[in-house]
Amino acid sequence: MDIANTDLPKLLAELNAIGIALSAEKNHERLLEMILMRAKDITNADGGTLYTRTEDDKLKFEIMHTTSLDIHMGGTSGEQITFYPVRLYKEDGEPNTNNVAACAVLHNETINIPDAYSNDDFDFSGTRSFDQKTGYRSQSFLTVPMTNHENKIIGVLQLINAIDLKSGAVKPFSTLDQQLVESLASQAAVTITNKSLIDAQKELFDSLVKLIANAIDEKSPYTAGHCRRVPVLTNLLAVAASNITFGPLKDFTMTEEEKYELDVAAWLHDCGKITTPEYVVDKATKLETIFDKIKLVDVRFEILKHEAEIRALKRTLKKKNNSSPDADEELKAKLARLDDDRAFIRKCNIGGEAISDEDIKRIDQIASCRWRTPEGVEENFLTTEEVQNLKIGRGTLSVREREIINNHVAVTIKMLESLPYPKHLKRVPEYAGGHHEKMDGTGYPNKLKREEMSIPARMVAIADVFEALTAKDRPYKKAMSLSKSLTILGRMKLEKHIDPDLFDIFIWDKIYLKYAREHLDPEQIDEVDLGSIPGYVPPPVT
């Protein structure tokens, strides 16, 4: 490039524009490719290679591009570069100064070679072999180390065969070419380093997010996988809602950055459970705390049975009659009644959907029976707390325990709001904190109504419900079939507990089936008659 005939302001403006473009590019492969292509453009080079330096002191081929040979390898081409990396040091530990790219790194200097064939400083045997196979003539080489702001060489930019714009002949790279590429290489190195740091920070952040979620799942064997599966459902729903072209959400869109923000929220939606006692999270029966207190009740029944047997024996001895049919029958009836009561209490101890008035009355009757403790104190057969727990109408949690477990959402919000988020993650607390809110305002912890919640927050709510319905690892219920889970989800739509528009997309896009194929047992995946699902409406004809 002839400096006298060069429009320097235009070149500087172009170099500045290149720097801006490099800073804006977020994809690593496209970034590397852009660096090489822009270097070729400003020097009018026919070919070029970009290497990155590895941790074990090798130069890895990232991009190769030769215009006249129509060669495009690495980067976004989809064609893998099969050449071995260039060693900076030989096997004996000596510097590999015979290779021009390695030498540029080892000496931290640009190497500008007018003609490789007449150069005796470096080994160009590989270049000559390539030329023989392709009919190419590799001539001028410009090899520039890429040094970042920490003065660390992170790669090499190598250009081949500068082309004269007028004659089309190959010419050496000029001093100005070298200066421009050195400037570009420096900008590129800083950009690559910053991008690598950002990627490393993101990878660390993502790992910490998943570490927290996995810790919560591992805390309870009965909810293992919940925090990992909710993001799957949330993502499926986000993609479907963003792509739909009809219905109330046809104008709704989410960028990749917004989907990532929602993904983080879905992973952390239950982080508050880290403070919830295990016995509440794992409560499989109504009387369970640290252990299932039904065992204590069983002992009391055994004591009552033994007492009945002792009283019967005493009556027999008093009558001095070894055979007392009436006493025997009375004892059998008493023991049978106690066994029946024990079986009834055991049944009540299992969580269900409801409890009848007759069962409540019978619990009270059994509770009022008297028994004598090992200390000789006479008291009611069941304690007040046991009676309250056995009368639980739905599930296994008492009112107090439900308040404890419900509090995990408030703790989640408090924990997440305490973090110093970058701008693109500011809504994580809101998205994560709404997964137990209901569209009619009867949810918790803030009793938000539909219009007070963002669409992404409503997505997490549906994902959380459907995962819980289909989960096969809960201690208080058996795994539900797909059709039964969708029936309950449909009822929740009609009861204004979940967002109706998102429910429709959930059905129309068959998100339930996509999820089921990956995460449910085969026996759970039954035939679904959409017409029988409460709240189902067919998609509009488009």
271-320 per-position pLDDT tens digit: 888 877 766 666 667 777 767 778 888 888 888 888 888 877 777 776 65
How many domains in the chain?
3
Q: b vs e for 50-70, b when ≥16 Cβ sit within 10 Å of the residue's Cβ? A: bbbbeeeebbbbbbbbbeeee
The pLDDT tens digits for 366-399 are 988 888 887 878 888 888 888 888 888 777 777 7
Q: Quickly state the pLDDT bin for 221 (edges 50, 70, 90).
A: low
8 shares its domain with 151? yes
CATH number at residue 255: 1.10.3210.10
Using a pLDDT cut of 90, give the percent of the chain over it.
53
**Sequence-ordered alpha helix ranges (H) in 220-268:** 226-243, 256-268
Residue 353 has pLDDT above 80, yes or no: no
Q: Quickly state the pLDDT bin for 402 (edges 50, 70, 90).
A: confident
35 shares its domain with 150? yes
The pLDDT tens digits for 245-266 are 999 999 999 999 999 999 999 9
Question: In this predicted structure, what is the pLDDT of residue 394?
Answer: 76
Computed over every residue of the chain, the mean pLDDT equals 87
- Distance separating alpha carbons of residues 282 and 291, to the nearest angstrom: 10
Lowest mean pLDDT among 336-350, 414-428, 514-528: 336-350
Tell me, yes or no, whether 538 lies in a domain. no
Q: Quickly state the pLDDT bin for 144 (edges 50, 70, 90).
A: very high
Dihedral of the alpha carbons of 73, 74, 78, 83, in degrees to the nearest 10: 70
The pLDDT tens digits for 468-525 are 999 875 555 677 899 999 999 999 999 999 999 999 999 999 999 999 999 999 999 9
Tell me, yes or no, whether 420 lies in a domain. no
Using a pLDDT cut of 70, give the percent of the chain over it.
91
Q: Which of 340, 374, 396 is the last residue of a domain?
A: 396
Question: In this predicted structure, what is the pLDDT of residue 3?
Answer: 40
Element housing 161 (H / E): strand 153-163
Domain interval for residue 165? 3-198
Question: In this predicted structure, what is the pLDDT of residue 1?
Answer: 44
Tell me, yes or no, whether 138 lies in a domain. yes
At a CB cut-off of 8 Å and minimum separation 6, what does 100 contact? 111, 113, 122, 124, 141, 143, 158
Residue 331 has pLDDT above 70, yes or no: yes
pTM: 0.69
266 shares its domain with 355? no
Residue 220 has pLDDT above 90, yes or no: no
122 shares its domain with 166? yes
Question: In this predicted structure, what is the pLDDT of residue 318?
Answer: 67
- Distance separating alpha carbons of residues 27 and 50, to the nearest angstrom: 16
Q: b vs e for 523-538, b when ≥16 Cβ sit within 10 Å of the residue's Cβ? A: ebbeebeeeebebbee
Tell me, yes or no, whether 541 lies in a domain. no
Angle at 201 between CA 197 and CA 206, to 5 degrees: 145
CATH number at residue 112: 3.30.450.40
The mean pLDDT value for 134-161 works out to 93
The pLDDT tens digits for 179-213 are 989 988 888 888 888 888 888 888 999 999 999 88
66 shares its domain with 191? yes
Residues paired with residue 171 on neighbouring β-strands, in sequence order? 162
Question: In this predicted structure, what is the pLDDT of residue 388?
Answer: 84
Cis peptide before 114 (omega within 30 of 0): no
Tell me, yes or no, whether 286 lies in a domain. no
14 shares its domain with 147? yes
Tell me, yes or no, whether 288 lies in a domain. no
Question: In this predicted structure, what is the pLDDT of residue 6?
Answer: 54
Q: Quickly state the pLDDT bin for 5 (edges 50, 70, 90).
A: very low
Q: Which of 396, 415, 447 is the last residue of a domain?
A: 396
Report the chain's C-alpha Rg in angstroms: 37
89 shares its domain with 160? yes
99 shares its domain with 28? yes
327 shares its domain with 382? yes
386 shares its domain with 454? no
Q: Evaluate whether 294 touches 286 at the Cβ level (below 8 Å).
A: no
366 shares its domain with 436? no
182 shares its domain with 321? no
Q: Which of 341, 375, 396 is the last residue of a domain?
A: 396
Tell me, yes or no, whether 211 lies in a domain. no
At a CB cut-off of 8 Å and minimum separation 6, what does 497 contact? 438, 439, 440, 442, 443
Residue appearing with tokens 């064939």: 117
Tell me, yes or no, whether 209 lies in a domain. no
Question: In this predicted structure, what is the pLDDT of residue 415?
Answer: 93
